[in-house]
Amino acid sequence: MIDQFEATRYVAGRLSDELVVASLGNAKYDLFRARDRALNFYMWNSMGMACSMALGLAMARPERRVIVLDGDGSLLMNLGSLATEATRAPANLIHIVWDNRQYQLTGGQPTHTSFRTDLARIAEGAGYERADRVETLEAFNRSFDRAMNGPGPWFILALVNTSTSTARPPKSPTFIKHRFMTELGVEH
């Protein structure tokens, strides 16, 4: 089983000018704790929207790699997005799902992935040509390195333990947005 924070730290350590969208909950807490940076976009709500936001970013900035750190509960809420991502297939998109098989922040209720549902197979069925399912940190690191060094889109399902990060990213939505856009050099 993968430690979600350790895997997030591996991702954060390899970032240069990549755009990162972090889904609500532990995905964004771990990203903030691992490495806060202007090009992190933290979602405070909008469950399911992180990957759609990343698709929009990938379309707007084809020269930049876009990474979304998603959760199993969030993706289950917006499964159709996988079909849209695979259809548009931006080469610069990396969709990572931290799958802890539960809604951890609301009390650990099981998600469907704790039973029969396999999000990597769903991604393949949606049309992803590169969908990995990894269960160890070493396998995750290898998969992520491949994604960072070749054309995508990539889908990586990482089976993780529950997360324990207590750090909290900035709470002001407009601060998060302005900091991100300013760093990206977008006039607004």
Partner 1 sequence: MGWAETIVDCLKQHRIRFINYVPDAIGEKILRLVRNDSAFEILPLSREEEGVGVTCGQAVGGARGMLMMPTSGLGNSLNALASLPIPYRIPFPMLIGYRGALGEFNATQVPMGQATPAMLKALNIPYFSLEREAEVRVVTEGALKLTYSLESPVAILVSTQLVGWKE
Nearest by Cα to 12 from 51, 59, 69, 62: 69
Residue 173 touching partner 1 (CB under 8 A)? yes
Q: Is 58 in the site for partner 1 (CB under 8 A)?
A: yes
- Min dist CB 132 to partner 1, Å, is 23
Residues 3-42 that bind partner 1 (CB under 8 A): 19, 21, 41
C-beta of 13 vs 185, nearer to partner 1: 185
Q: Segment 62-101, which members bind partner 1 (CB under 8 A)? A: 78, 80-81, 83-84, 87-88
Residues 71, 74: Cα–Cα separation, whole Å: 5
Both structure tokens of 55 = 């698709």
54 binds partner 1 (CB under 8 A): yes
Half-sphere exposure of 93 (CA within 13 A, CB side): 29
Is 60 a binder of partner 1 (CB under 8 A)?
yes
Report how far apart, in Å, the C-alpha atoms of 104 and of each of 4, 36, 162, 186 are.
13, 22, 7, 35
Nearest to 151, CA basis, from 94, 96, 95: 94
Q: Would you tell me which residues interact with partner 1 (CB under 8 A)?
A: 19, 21, 41, 43-61, 78, 80-81, 83-84, 87-88, 173-174, 176-177, 180-181, 184-188
